[in-house]
Amino acid sequence: MKHLSLAWTLLAAAGITFSACQSQQASSPKGNPLMAHEDEITEIIAGMSLEEKVNMLHAKHMFSSAGIERLGIADIEYADGPFGIREEMEPDSWMPLGWSTDSATFFPTGSALAATWSEDMAYQYGKGMAAEAYLRGKDMILGPAINIQRLPTGGRTYEYLSEDPLLSGALAVGYTQGAQDNGRAVCLKHYAVNSQENMRGFINSVVSERALREIYLPPFEAAVREANAYGVMAAYNKVGGDWCSENDRLLNKILRDEWGFRGIVISDWGGTHSTVKAALGGLDVEMPSDRYFGQALIDSVKAGVVPEEVINQKVRNLLRVRLTVPAVPKEVANKQMTSQPAQQQIAYEVASRSIVLLKNEGLLPIDAQKVKTIAVIGDNATRRMAQGGVGAGVKALYEITPLQGLQTALEGTGITVKHAQGYIVPGRMRRNDKNAAAKAKEVEATNKKLAKEAVALAKEADLVIFVGGDNREVETEGSDRKDIDLPAGQNELIQAIAQANPNLVTVMVVGAPVDLRTVNDCTKSLLISWFNGSEGGHALADVLTGEISPSGKLPFTFPAKLDDSPAYSLGVYPQEQPAASGDVFVNLVNRDKFRAEMKADADYAEGILVGYRWYTTKQVKPLYPFGYGLSYTQFQYSDLQAKPGKDAIEVSFTLNNAGGMDAEEVAQVYIARPQSAIERPAIELKGFKRIALKKGESQTVSLSIPLEKLRHWDEAQNGWALEEGPAVVYVGCSSDNLPLKQNINVAR
């Protein structure tokens, strides 16, 4: 028998067994449609010149890469993504073409989708995106965006799904299957550890291997292993000192060798930095130019520094996608309007399950017997959120605002709805804007006037619905927020409104956490209704009027204050930002020199304690915890049975809708390992299920939790390990409300 190392012996004594080969091996994804054309592809490649091959490996235009014209193999057409098909732009600029048929459905953004906690909704969402991509002649959707929401201030939190890898992964799988079952490819983005926008163009993410494996990679891994995602976008940042677009470890070793990825890796726009290193490091397509993967790549092959076999493999990857996702016939593409009723219905279904009720002291649903006049106050009551800020937006065919939704829903009820804007959020100022001070003064004066009008309207009404929060200028790609304060003096405004009329319902339209302490104190009912897509206003009105019961659950924690959150509390974020930095799009001319000089590390010092893992372990009380969300009905949980088996823990319990209304509930299963030999979060989400129950109905709910999901990454052994021994299974309706509990023993 071989000698075990001391560390190994100690771990074995502690009941930790390793399953390294299981995790390290490339599982060739079963039935991967990408693998159906290998012989044909070999033949095609054999007949191609080097120039023809390299021609496929970079952008043809801003959103396309070339096919092989001679063989009638079409270009690949890419489309942003992730929450609607982006409008058509000039081939080589960001200038919209102003077409009349490219208005798309605006789907609820990432955090809204995640708030549904529904793989089925994610599937429908992917299906809807695929249908509209097809109508627009697009092959690959640049989405879903599945980075972990690490920072409350993160600029793209609204696009991303969750702070939890299991929830993010399950929804990424749903989205991917929905899109790809319906004939279009996804492109998972941004791989990997791109959890901040500030300095994303040159920051190096320094993250422990354990956190990488347990927190940041699982959503990507799930969508690759379980759903055979056809595309992956390499992120702008570096990980472990290497740009993601030339990161041999991330792209070759982990994505392809370990997970068995067979599709294409494309760079984020402008995120390629070399020819040889990127070619050998696993990048297939440079977007949106040919700076490194054009003539320079041909020269590198001729010089013998990039083997032609590497080029052949990239062409193979591309052809796999091209032959699996047939090009949209010319006579079909762009012949009808992109947004169609079937997708609008999906947008509604998602939105109506995403709205989270945080607090309800009797005002909701609106009582039509008591309420005759409603004052709807707030800029977000009428603001459209499909576009704004930097980055992909949707030219929405239509977007029902909260005010429109309410007006339509209350038509004919005798209830009068009046609106006051209440505040405006100042637009983004240019750096060094000479008129900045004057403009700020002007906004301040306007806001004073608007506040006065709003308070006067509040006094006249039976019920006030304040619709505030952020907007798409505030939460945006390219920069993180400086803080999580509500913009434009909304706290002061809401206090004044509450004084004028205590019957106050607040609707927060946000895609990320905001500081809700003031709002929470002075409002009786509080909801989060997200950047909720074309049908957002209808969904909100249906919840407010009680047509449906709210059933969304928070996909991230609302901390009481920003400093409570892990990276802020540890002082590792924000990093000092060099004065001349800005977004990746600035300084394009001297880009390489600029990037070489700009060195900065993002220290992911909290390790695996991201999101609720931090708050529960460090016992820091958030304002509203992960998984939280109320209903108009009452759900009762009972009869938990958790049976550990050889491969899975079989969990079952009874859920009863004990209230007076049909409704849906998201039941959540968390597991704790109280006597663990290693660092563990207090609890971790290991399963969840959305269940629809009629009033009075009971159901036995069953869930199977694969033991695989209980493994941790053992850094010493560089592999996954399953710790045997005691565990506690908790079941309930949120991370802080888990009424059912059972001790079990985990053993293989």
Q: Which residues bind ligand BGC (CB under 6 A)?
A: 80-81, 142, 189, 268-269, 391-392
- Min dist CB 685 to ligand BGC, Å, is 26
Helix (H) or strand (E) holding 321: helix 308-324
Q: Which is nearer to ligand BGC, 461 or 512 (CB)?
A: 512
Residues 724, 700 contacting (CB under 8 angstroms): no
Q: Which is nearer to ligand BGC, 53 or 86 (CB)?
A: 86
Helix (H) or strand (E) holding 740: strand 740-746
d(CA 146, CA 110): 8
- Min dist CB 392 to ligand BGC, Å, is 5
Q: Which is nearer to ligand BGC, 189 or 673 (CB)?
A: 189
Q: Which is nearer to ligand BGC, 81 or 402 (CB)?
A: 81
- Min dist CB 66 to ligand BGC, Å, is 18
Quick one: which of 556, 450, 513 has its CA closest to 161? 556
Q: Which is nearer to ligand BGC, 269 or 292 (CB)?
A: 269
d(CA 126, CA 141): 9
Distances (CA, A) of 565 to 217, 464, 609, 621, 721: 21, 32, 10, 10, 29
Helix (H) or strand (E) holding 174: helix 165-181
Q: Which is nearer to ligand BGC, 77 or 80 (CB)?
A: 80
Distances (CA, A) of 35 to 29, 224, 260, 266, 310: 10, 14, 11, 19, 18
Sign of CA dihedral 314, 317, 318, 319: positive
Helix (H, G, I), strand (E, B) or coil at 309: helix
Residues 725, 746 contacting (CB under 8 angstroms): yes
Query: Helix (H) and strand (E) counts for the chain?
Result: 22, 27
d(CA 335, CA 135): 7
- Min dist CB 193 to ligand BGC, Å, is 14
Residue appearing with tokens 């599709």: 263
Q: Which is nearer to ligand BGC, 87 or 349 (CB)?
A: 87
Q: Name the active-site residue from 75, 102, 268, 480.
A: 268
d(CA 302, CA 54): 12
Q: Is 714 a catalytic residue?
A: no
Helix (H, G, I), strand (E, B) or coil at 258: helix
Q: Which is nearer to ligand BGC, 60 or 524 (CB)?
A: 60
Distances (CA, A) of 328 to 79, 82, 180, 188, 339: 13, 20, 14, 21, 17
- Strand 140-142, strand 231-234: pairing: unpaired
d(CA 23, CA 492): 53
Torsion, Cα of 559, 562, 565, 567 (10° steps): 160
d(CA 471, CA 424): 11
Q: Which is nearer to ligand BGC, 287 or 640 (CB)?
A: 287
Q: Which two tokens stand for residue 430?
A: 């240019």
- Min dist CB 269 to ligand BGC, Å, is 4
- Min dist CB 744 to ligand BGC, Å, is 42
- Min dist CB 47 to ligand BGC, Å, is 33
Cα 520 off chain centre by: 26
- Min dist CB 200 to ligand BGC, Å, is 8
Q: Which is nearer to ligand BGC, 190 or 213 (CB)?
A: 190
- Min dist CB 233 to ligand BGC, Å, is 7
- Min dist CB 156 to ligand BGC, Å, is 8
Cβ neighbours of residue 27 under 8 Å, at least 6 residues apart?
A: 225, 259, 260
Which residues are designated catalytic?
268
